[in-house]
Amino acid sequence: MQGNIDKTEYEVEPLGQSNGVCGCCGNETHLAWGFVHAGSATVASYHVHWTASAGLDRHPANYDFIIGPWGEGASSADRVAVSLMHFENEDGPGVMVIDAGRRPSANSGLAARALDRESVVGTELAGTAFAIFDTVFLQDTRLYR
């Protein structure tokens, strides 16, 4: 799907953000979103949701991506939803693919399909999703720092 894009050239365009309250711990939650570009082409949108004042060991951060072309001539039929979870355990921080069908992006209408873990792991799309994660994590300064 995205194999012909040089993943080192991704750039983030931060857009909006909102806050809420975690139903289980009462801490403030944050949601930040934007686009990811490769040159002049938009290749993905992202939503990152995390709970402030709670470590990734208690409340992992969720990264929801809509991957595929955007702009003139593109439609939701050209895109898929992929979700990752950023967590921490006794071995340190980690990132794993999770079922996008259980995330809000699955019902957004922005992608033709929300992929489950098995449809992503071990594919070229997984490499793209992890490269997008790296870009968003490193470039969007609004995220949990």
Give domain limits for the chain.
Answer: 31-139
Residue 7 pLDDT exceeds 60: no
Residue 5 pLDDT exceeds 50: no
- Give the CA distances from residue 27 to residues 17, 20, 23, 55, 76, in Å, rounded to whole numbers and listed in that order: 17, 9, 8, 11, 34
In this prediction, residue 24 carries a pLDDT of: 84
**How high is the mean pLDDT of the chain?**
92
CA angle 27–28–29, rounded 5-degree value: 115
pTM for this structure? Answer: 0.91
Residue 49 pLDDT exceeds 90: yes
Residue 115 pLDDT exceeds 50: yes
In this prediction, residue 145 carries a pLDDT of: 62
In this prediction, residue 52 carries a pLDDT of: 86
